Amino acid sequence: MSYPKDNATQQAHRRYVRNTMDAPLLSREEEFSLARRWKDHKDEKALHTLIKAYARLVVSIATKYKNYGLPADDLVQEGNIGLMEAAARFDPDLENRFSTYAMWWIRAQIQDFILRNWSIVRTGTTSRQKSLFFNLRRLRAQIEGQSTRAWMDDDAIADIAKELGVTPKDVAAMEARMNAGDQALSTTIGEYDAPTLQDMMPDPGPTPEDIVIGMKDGTTRSTWLNEALSALSERERNIVAQRQMRDDVVTLDALGKQLGISKERVRQLEKKALDKLRTALEVKANTLRLEKDMPFM
């Protein structure tokens, strides 16, 4: 995915980058003092000083993601959101450096932005897929640097899959996605008036022939079931209807009270009726199968 570049926007971005480099670095003591003033007293001036001092860290991390086709200023903006989130959550009592803590939040915010905007199709929906997306290019470059191996051969795919904890199929699919990019379904294949990608996509639904056959088979099965039910006694039909043909199934106990028998007797009658139905339907199916296999006379 590519975006148009505006000169004014680029100039503003370059000025911002220069300004971040001019901000003074903080010592460990100054860093903790500012973090303490913000945490304990909500001193916004201290927060702004802390954010400004580490804006260069945002620019540095954002630069590493410049090859994903997204505007550099947007990456920096997202990184700044991560930096502010880090400042809001930082606890100076743990005695960690703020820069170390902030790096995780900056990187996470930028990566999430890339995954949301790199493609109209959601990418990296799990942590392992996310790791695959952001590490595949690095691992590919390492393999391409080995002149004795061809990129994306079976061994290379297996090695990457093992290192990142994914399947070889996931590696091949991600490589194909990253190389192909998004394409509109209305894109034609070939010359003018050629079929589109959408025209060439298979329909997973049933064919008209399958639908007609299904309707005919459904009608046949309904006829067989009605004939089999008619062979049952009235009480057996009642039990099957109440226990097998309703959304709100009647319990054995309730049906036993209705018929004046025990629930165990209801269970026995239900099993007997279902066995009769199963036998009758099997006979019908076997008869039909024999008729189809019989040679034409």
Q: Give me the average pLDDT of each 10-residue run along the chain (297 residues).
A: 63 86 87 91 92 93 90 93 93 89 94 83 73 84 66 81 88 79 65 69 69 67 84 90 87 90 92 90 77 55
Tell me which residue of 188, 77, 78, 65 sits closest to 133, measured CA to CA.
65
End residue of a domain, out of 64, 90, 118: 118
- What is the SS3 assignment for 154? helix
* Residue (of 149, 151, 154) closest to 169 by Cα position: 154
pLDDT of residue 215: 63
134 and 62 within one domain:
no
Q: In CATH, what number is assigned to the domain containing residue 35?
A: 1.20.120.1810
- The C-alpha atoms of residue 164 and residue 156 are separated, in whole angstroms, by 12
- Phi and psi at 196, nearest 5°, equal -95, 170
* Count of all residues that appear for the chain in the document: 297
Supply the DSSP string of 81-142, one letter for each residue.
Answer: HHHHHHHHH--GGG---HHHHHHHHHHHHHHHHHHHHS-SS----SHHHHHHHHHHHHHHHH
Residue at which a domain ends, from 65, 89, 118 = 118
Q: What is the pLDDT of residue 105?
A: 95
* Residue 191, domain member (yes or no): no
* Whether 214 and 160 share a structural domain: no
Do 24 and 104 belong to one domain?
yes
Range of the domain at 171: 123-181
Under DSSP, is residue 188 helix (H, G, I), strand (E, B) or coil? strand
- Same domain as 113, residue 1: yes
Contacting residues for 219 by C-beta, under 8 A, at least 6 apart: none
Q: Are residues 105 and 152 in the same domain?
A: no
pLDDT (0 to 100) of residue 1 = 47
- Asked if 20 and 112 sit in the same domain, the reply is yes
Considering the domain architecture, whether residues 112 and 139 belong to the same structural domain is answered as no
> Considering only CA atoms, which of 220, 234, 249, 237 is closest in space to residue 277?
237
Q: Is 191 left (phi over 0), alpha (psi -120 to 50) or beta?
A: beta
Indicate whether 186 belongs to any domain.
no
pTM score: 0.56
Do 127 and 236 sit in the same domain of this protein?
A: no
Question: What span, in angstroms and rounded, lies between the C-alpha atoms of 150 and 74?
Answer: 36
Do 170 and 254 belong together in one domain? no
The answer to whether residues 161 and 259 belong to one domain is: no
- Considering the domain boundaries, does residue 151 fall inside one? yes
Would you state the pLDDT for residue 11?
84
- Residue 173 pLDDT: 84
N-to-C CA span, the chain: 67
**143 lies in a domain?**
yes
What's the alpha-carbon Rg for the chain, to the nearest Å? 34
Query: 293 to each of 171, 245, 296, how far by Cα in Å?
Result: 49, 34, 9
Q: What's 263's domain CATH number? A: 1.10.10.10
Asked if residue 171 belongs to a domain, the reply is yes
DSSP 262-288: -HHHHHHHHHHHHHHHHHHHHHHHHHH
148 and 111 in a common domain: no
Domain boundary among 71, 89, 118: 118
Query: In the numeric block, which tokens belong to residue 166?
Result: 């994914």
Residue 50 belongs to a domain: yes
What is the torsional sign of CA 138, 78, 62, 93? negative
Q: Within a domain: residue 192?
A: no
**Total structural domains in the chain?**
3
Distance CA 231, CA 126 (A): 56
Q: Is 62 a member of any domain? A: yes
pLDDT at 297: 45
Domain shared by 46 and 11, yes or no: yes
